[in-house]
Amino acid sequence: MDFHGGAQSDNPAPYRTENVQRGVAKDNPLGRLFHDAATKHRGQLHPYTGN
């Protein structure tokens, strides 16, 4: 989602995506782990944007 402009809940109108919420909350304690696993699988598409 971040690669394509963020989740709907992150942006004011006009929304950039049709997702109502982020796939992984910015404050999810496992967010970095999920990002690193996805990066390992697909390569880095976008820098980590969590807290």
Amino acid 8: pLDDT: 57
CB 28 within 8 A of CB 40: no
Q: How many residues does the chain have?
A: 51
Phi and psi at 26, nearest 5°, equal: -60, -30
Amino acid 49: pLDDT: 87
Amino acid 17: pLDDT: 54
pLDDT in tens, 4-47: 665 655 556 665 555 556 778 888 999 999 999 999 999 998 89
Cα 50 to its chain centre, rounded Å, is: 8
Q: Element (H or E) spanning 42, and its range?
A: helix 31-42
pTM of the model: 0.58
Residue 18: what residue type? Answer: E
Q: Is the pLDDT of residue 50 over 60?
A: yes
CB 49 within 8 A of CB 7: no
